[in-house]
A and B are shown apart, each in its own frame.
Chain A
Amino acid sequence: MRKHRPRVGLLYNPTTPQLLDYAPSLVEHLSVMPDRLWFDFGTEPMRGRRFHRLHEAIDRVKRDTVGRMLAGHGLGLSLPSAMPLDDAMVAAVADVSRDLGNFAWYSEHLNLFITPKGGVPNAQAGLGLPVIYDEETFSIMAPKLRRLRDALSCRLLLENGSFFTPVPDLDLTEPEFLNRLHRQGLSGVLLDLHNLLVNARNGGADPIAYLESLDLDAVEEVHIAGGDDAEGFYMDSHSTLTPDYVWELAHAYLPRCRNLRAITFEYQESYFEELGLPALAAELERMHRLADVCELVPEPVDAR
């Protein structure tokens, strides 16, 4: 046994600096989305460049990450898409990582955001679509993950998504697919516990069955968040504090995640005023109590 306490942190958004001013010591880790730190001109490059960085925002993030652990969290690479890796975007992610002092790790969503016949490199599908877990998708993702890891020189994690329409008749379950990626040294897991609740509420997999079949040694970061009901469905809107069921899952399973490095709270900035600084600080304090529970764990297995 050794001390291995996961850091507590936030997914960075434009209101994060206010929360950092209010409760600086409660935030030990920041997860930053490179996609929010540039303008992507797609097939219409300006001044010869597709990506134009938001230099002031990058400088602000850089100041806010002093003394904190920093990870990158991306949306745009859409790794399961049956199309080539967007090398220009990979280079842009690497540029932002370098600007900020290098990501400790980088995560992407295990969703489809870009479609093969979308027309332009950054044509968005409009929402994260579900993925077919089979040999073909694995063979598409594996080389992309290797190239991405080489370009960023850091660990890669993949985040389980939330869906309204599960894909039927799959060869592998999502945990089996993630376990295989982990076994082959291609990626670890960013486990979004709220997404498990979203999927369960909308007719998807049972969270307990999911967690029991996931290799918990693959989990290196955990996302928690809250959502709300709309049109008879439960949405991953990041509009509320973390619901009780997600806390129950966290306390039951996170102490078993021997390689867990960070617990990250996600909230959408448009709900910042509604949530309020005292409630957000209380959420961070609750996360610290959770991190304390995770502190004494067996020696982590080798991080590949």
Chain B
Amino acid sequence: MLADFQQALADLTSLPEWCLAVRADASVLHSRYTLTEREARRLHTIACDAGMSCACTVYRMNRLAPLAMNVRLTLRALGPTAKHVLSDYWRDHPRGHAHFFLESDRFCKWLRERLDVGEQMSSEVRSLLDRESSAIRAAVRASCTESD
């Protein structure tokens, strides 16, 4: 069905590991989606297309944009682990929020939960996350421009 095809196409782009799994064995598509054989063939061809790596990169660049603007210092303090942290975040939240401050706020809350359950990160990450989270919450409030 078309809705599943469209969702599968978005998932291939947002989840590189899933794309590689589909490349290796197209039959895994049927475990997640209700697809006609023709839709499954199309998805497998797309997954194997050389352009998929570029589509995955553009997806990550677009998802990174709000965080690079609003959580820049925290990401910098994460250092080399930032790449893995972001991949985990995008796996947990594969669809971005159109409101950049809400998207950034969601990331801050997600990272805060990881810190609260004991994930090891530097004290600098904690303090910068506090500072940037606070600024983002203020920006969310300021973006409410309409009265009741």
Closest to A236 in B: B58
Bound-state CA distance A164–B49 (Å) is: 9
User: A140-170, CB under 8 A of B: which get 1 and which 0?
Assistant: 1000000000000000000000011111110
**Given the complex, which residues of A lie within 8 Å of B60, measured CB to CB?**
126
**Given the complex, which residues of A lie within 8 Å of B14, measured CB to CB?**
125-126
> Which of A124, A132, A166, A230 has a CB less than 8 Å from the CB of B98?
A124
Closest to B44 in A: A168
Bound-state CA distance A80–B96 (Å) is: 19
Taking the closest CB of chain A, its distance from the CB of B65, in whole angstroms, is 10
> Which of B6, B52, B95, B98 has a CB less than 8 Å from the CB of A165?
B52
**Given the complex, which residues of A lie within 8 Å of B62, measured CB to CB?**
124, 126-127
User: B109-148, CB under 8 A of A: which get 1 and which 0?
Assistant: 0000000000000000000000000000000000111111
The reply to whether B148 and A48 contact each other, CB–CB distance below 8 Å, is yes
Bound-state CA distance A42–B70 (Å) is: 19
Q: Does A60 contact B (CB under 8 A)?
A: no
- With contacts A42-B102, A53-B146 taken as known, whether A164 is within 8 angstroms of B97 at the C-beta atoms is no
**Given the complex, which residues of A lie within 8 Å of B83, measured CB to CB?**
none
Closest to A235 in B: B58
**Given the complex, which residues of B lie within 8 Å of A46, measured CB to CB?**
144
Taking the closest CB of chain B, its distance from the CB of A144, in whole angstroms, is 14
Residues of B in contact, count (CB < 8 Å): 42
Q: Does A122 contact B (CB under 8 A)?
A: yes
Taking the closest CB of chain A, its distance from the CB of B135, in whole angstroms, is 16
**Given the complex, which residues of B lie within 8 Å of A120, measured CB to CB?**
95, 97
Q: Does B73 contact A (CB under 8 A)?
A: no
Closest to B49 in A: A165
**Given the complex, which residues of B lie within 8 Å of A42, measured CB to CB?**
97-99, 102
Closest to A119 in B: B95
Q: Does A55 contact B (CB under 8 A)?
A: yes
Q: Does A91 contact B (CB under 8 A)?
A: no
**Given the complex, which residues of B lie within 8 Å of A233, measured CB to CB?**
51, 54
**Given the complex, which residues of A lie within 8 Å of B42, measured CB to CB?**
132, 167-169
**Given the complex, which residues of A lie within 8 Å of B84, measured CB to CB?**
none
Complex A-B, nearest 9 residue pairs according to Cβ-Cβ distance, in ascending order: A164-B51, A123-B95, A126-B59, A116-B3, A82-B3, A122-B98, A115-B10, A39-B143, A165-B51
